[in-house]
Structure 1
Amino acid sequence: MRREIAESLEKNRHEMEERLQLTKNFDLVERKLKVGDRDACLYFVDGFVKDEVLEKLMEFFQSLKPELLLENGKAFSGIFVPYVEVDILNSFEELTTQLLSGVACLLIDGIPCCVAVDCRTYPMRSVEEPEKDKVLRGSRDGFVETLVFNTALIRRRIRTPKLSMEILTTGKLSKTDIVLCYLDDRVDRELLSLVKNRIQQLKVEALTMNQESLAECLFRGRWFNPFPKFKYTERPDAAAAGILEGKLVILVDNSPSAMILPASVFDIMEEADDFYFPPVTGTYLRLTRFFIGLMTIFLTPVWLLLMQNPEWIPKDFQFIRVSEEINIPIFFQLLILELAIDGLKLAAINTPSNLTTPLSVIAAIVVGEFAVKSGWFNSETMLYMAFVAMANYMQADYELGYALKFMRLLLLVLTAILNQWGLLLGFVLVCVFLATNRTISGGSYLAPLLPFNGKQFTRRFFRKRLTHFYD
């Protein structure tokens, strides 16, 4: 039920105490002061306000002459409050949300509204290059957890009034801010309407995991398909490029990355380095990434098939055969190493930075040398799995890397059970997973391959000039 702000300051103070439990929460501050000749209370969250600005405002409020204080709250805020971002709130629901977001709120006796002064500042880290989305050449800035700074990084790159940034709020408890960034004359209007409606209709308590929670709410498709439905980036230049292409970019407060949609598998595999180098170099990098991506799926299953059928190995490729005694079947060696590699990844993530190097050396010695000498693994198995492990890092998208891993595991299992027919069946299933996956707009995940568009398909592999001239 909506509660309007009353004229009596005591009633308003009592309501604020009931809603916010000010006596319990040490970081919610109630500061009594005089504005003109009237009693007033200033509410703010300690740690979210700029102390110097708030001190100046309090000094100004207390120096106001009584005859200058008007009865109309809007006139008071518009004329007498010497600050850039000032708003008038009429209900306690609005007041509570704004206050807990960091806005300083002033209640004055006799005025049935609240003067909201947005002098907040959030604790944040510096705008530095993302650890995951590094480039050899190009911008070195990256998104942070503060929403307004992220929008400013995009505005800095696209200086046109056609760039729109709509803010929405979702989450009954979290009241999470979500910004939709797009160009008015290029965005897909049906997609924009679809995303806005789904966000506005969300009935969740909070977006606990920020963008992942939002992604699961927006896309209600087949959960068992591991291929990612969204492209994520922590680079403002990549987000700006997506907007200029007519895509929709979603920013979520407290998240240092942007969601770009719709996104096909070719969009997700693109990287900024493809465009920061000349067309020839960019094309080479892109083709290499696609080729290595295919190898990460098929290398170990094809090798397993040849080990199960050694008579199929051509004479010139006999060196790929296992030369030593096999104590554990190759299929189980590959599965164990798949799990071991993920275990080492998780260990590296949770290892303190000053211990990463010595532990990496220990892991390399134990897994690389002693594992072979002990008879658990063969050298050839270690070699191919080492290549696969390193090749996975060629994919900037973490989810795509794991999707390729799951496809590889599927191929390994089917090949071990059904031999060549298992590999063929696995290949068909991989194609089915890709072909049946859909973007959030319902488009093909393999566009422009399906439906085929020769010009666009060529551009996915061969980088062309980026400069577009106009009359």
Structure 2
Amino acid sequence: MSRFFRSKRQNPQENSTTIKLYPSLQQNITHFKQTVGESTDIVIRTFKAGQTGSMDIAVLYTSGLVNNELVHDFILDTLMSEIRKTPLDAPAHKSKRYKTKHIEENGNKAYQLIKDYAMTGGNVTDIDTMEKLFLHVLSGDTVVMLDGSIQAMAIDTRGWESRGVEEPSTQSVVRGPKEGFTETLRTNTALLRRRIKDPNLWIRSKPIGSKSKTDVAVVYLHGVADEKVVKEVYHRLNKINIDAILDSGYVEELIQDETYTPFPTVYNSERPDTIAAGILEGRIAIVVDGSPFVLLVPALFVQFFQSAEDYFQRADFSTLIRLIRYMAFFLALLTPSVYIALTTYHQEMIPTSFLVSLSAQREGVPFPAFVEALLMEITFEILREAGVRLPKAVGSAISIVGALVLGQAAVEAGIVSSAMVIVVSLTAISSFVSPSFNFAISIRMLRFGFMSLAATLGLFGILFGLIILTLHLASLRSFGVPYLSPMAPFIGADQKDAILRFPRWKLTTRPRLINQSNMDREDAKAPKPEKRKRLNQRKEQE
């Protein structure tokens, strides 16, 4: 599988500047200093070693990206005190050519000696080019170079300040784990490894971005994930040719199947349990260093209605809550448009008493229902965006107070009717029910389109929009998997965890279109829960 991680589109400028390390230590240091521009956060420590102190050694690292205790106690202390008794020197000779030759030979021997017996780091990597030297030093590793050696060693000493594991802010649950991903790649992979202790959990990473060199890791369960989907993920990542990757949103936009669609075709989450559950189903996770949101592919339409808490509660509770989410989806999408269509074109469908009340409310409103709904929706969107951007201490207060004050003032001023305030409020509350934030944004975008269709053609326009929306959803793919699966195409075995959530002991198979090789779960032989009657009979017999 490693051949899929070789980038097919390489920057020709990078190839032309790839330079091998020089045998001369001073020449390597000079080239390094000229390239980094004498940056003050780069530490270059040079000293001498050997019995006579004639072997020059340099240690390079970036201050702030390394663990200082590891660098000082296990690298500098070892090199400056322990190996001073070791004969690393080249023999003296009158001929300069003879001495230079033996310095290079002795430098390569000293390099191997230090690597095999002196370095106590857990991960030591050989470096032979300037490009690798820059990458390791600027990534938080410590590089040791010897005079006369054409190789250098990079020791893993990364230890920068990072945010600890905290509760996710966007996907909170009442019952379940409270851990969330952080901005550190290895912390995120460790959270996944702690939940899936299987040797078939493969984690492979590569740097993406010619300037940022951001580490991007692909995590999947070998033997469970579909090999075709895994190859497609590698292929799309290898095609990325960009200066920098600063968040997983960059990768999501570059590898998604369809650009011109309001629906997300790549799932993201900051919950390790959600990503681990997706991996166990046969999906592939993409972890980006510097981002707490991990991508998960393939993504299906029903997946955005599922929450991690659905699997921590009983099946009947989870099914009820999931049905409420589907109902909230249609309310958030169609409530304003249905109100516009009924009050504008289909008054005969409204009960007489309610129609009289609506007419009395709208008697002093100067705008048609469409303009009235448009004004209220835009106002609420502005308030919601302001609540997000303002500081947390005042953001929620401004959004709530602003909505109440503006709504009441608009009704008293005769700009909107009381019924329209109720409609917009119900729509806004329903849009918050979605467990996925980016899917809720899709609903907010489509709502304005349905409002326009309702103002133009009434209920026929809404029906026409639903048909177009269904056809569009049926045409979408996520890494080759139909977006509406398991409803279209209909898969009976996968209906146990689509709209409804069956009991745990009935979820014995993985999704068919996502997983093609290993369909049965390990808990497929789990016994059914025994009935209370059988337990009572056993107690009586005892």
Place the TM-score, normalised by the shorter chain, in its bin.
Answer: over 0.9
User: 2:69 aligned with 1:52, yes or no?
Assistant: yes
Partner of 2:11: none
Q: Alpha carbon RMSD of aligned pairs, Å?
A: 1.8
Offset at residue 357 of structure 1 (A): 4.8
Please identify, of 113-122 and 228-237, the stretch whose mean Cα deviation from structure 2 is larger.
113-122
Change (3 A) 1:168 1:303: same
Superposed, which structure 2 residues align to 1:64-75 within 5 Å? Answer: 64-67=83-86, 69=88, 71-72=108-109, 73-75=111-113
Instruction: Please give the alpha-carbon distance, in whole angstroms, between the structure 2 residues aligned to 1:294 and 1:349.
Output: 24
> Which one of 38, 44, 64 corresponds to residue 30 of structure 1?
44
Secondary structure at 1:331's aligned position in 2?
helix
User: 2:125 aligned with 1:87, yes or no?
Assistant: yes
User: 2:449 aligned with 1:410, yes or no?
Assistant: yes
Secondary structure at 1:299's aligned position in 2?
helix
Offset at residue 396 of structure 1 (A): 1.9
Change (3 A) 1:74 1:395: farther
Change (3 A) 1:220 1:205: farther
User: 2:56 aligned with 1:39, yes or no?
Assistant: yes
Secondary structure at 1:62's aligned position in 2?
helix
Instruction: Please give the alpha-carbon distance, in whole angstroms, between the structure 2 residues aligned to 1:396 and 1:122.
Output: 33
> Which one of 7, 28, 35 corresponds to residue 12 of structure 1?
28
User: 2:127 aligned with 1:108, yes or no?
Assistant: no
User: 2:235 aligned with 1:235, yes or no?
Assistant: no
Partner of 1:98: 136
List 4+ stretches of structure 1 deviating above 6 A. none
Instruction: Please give the alpha-carbon distance, in whole angstroms, between the structure 1 residues aligned to 2:466 and 2:178.
Output: 40
Equivalent pairs, count: 466
Secondary structure at 1:87's aligned position in 2?
strand
Structure 1's unaligned 5+ residue stretches are none
Partner of 1:136: 174
Amino acid corresponding to residue 410 of structure 1 in structure 2: G
Superposed, which structure 2 residues align to 1:221-260 within 5 Å? Answer: 221=258, 223-260=259-296
Partner of 1:338: 377
Instruction: Please give the alpha-carbon distance, in whole angstroms, between the structure 1 residues aligned to 2:265 and 2:378.
Output: 25
Identity of aligned residues (%): 27
Q: Confirm or deny: 8 A CA contact 2:41 2:63 kept in the other structure.
A: yes
Superposed, which structure 2 residues align to 1:226-305 within 5 Å? Answer: 226-305=262-341
User: 2:214 aligned with 1:176, yes or no?
Assistant: yes
Amino acid corresponding to residue 66 of structure 2 in structure 1: V
Please identify, of 396-405 and 123-132, the stretch whose mean Cα deviation from structure 2 is larger.
396-405
**What are the Cα deviations for residues 195-219 of structure 1, in whole angstroms up to 9, with x where unaligned?**
10221222211224x2221122112
Offset at residue 108 of structure 1 (A): 1.5
Secondary structure at 2:174's aligned position in 1?
coil
Partner of 1:382: 421
Secondary structure at 2:428's aligned position in 1?
helix
Partner of 2:515: none
Partner of 2:199: 161
Secondary structure at 2:153's aligned position in 1?
strand
TM-score (norm 1): 0.95
Amino acid corresponding to residue 279 of structure 2 in structure 1: I
Instruction: Please give the alpha-carbon distance, in whole angstroms, between the structure 2 residues aligned to 1:320 and 1:241.
Output: 51
Secondary structure at 1:339's aligned position in 2?
helix
Instruction: Please give the alpha-carbon distance, in whole angstroms, between the structure 2 residues aligned to 1:238 and 1:358.
Output: 31
Instruction: Please give the alpha-carbon distance, in whole angstroms, between the structure 1 residues aligned to 2:357 and 2:287.
Output: 49
Q: Confirm or deny: 8 A CA contact 1:170 1:206 kept in the other structure.
A: yes
Q: Confirm or deny: 8 A CA contact 1:33 1:39 kept in the other structure.
A: yes
Change (3 A) 1:299 1:104: same
Amino acid corresponding to residue 254 of structure 2 in structure 1: C
Change (3 A) 1:412 1:315: same
> Which one of 341, 350, 370 corresponds to residue 409 of structure 2?
370
Amino acid corresponding to residue 447 of structure 2 in structure 1: R
Instruction: Please give the alpha-carbon distance, in whole angstroms, between the structure 2 residues aligned to 1:316 and 1:224.
Output: 45
Q: Confirm or deny: 8 A CA contact 1:207 1:214 kept in the other structure.
A: yes
Q: Confirm or deny: 8 A CA contact 1:77 1:87 kept in the other structure.
A: no
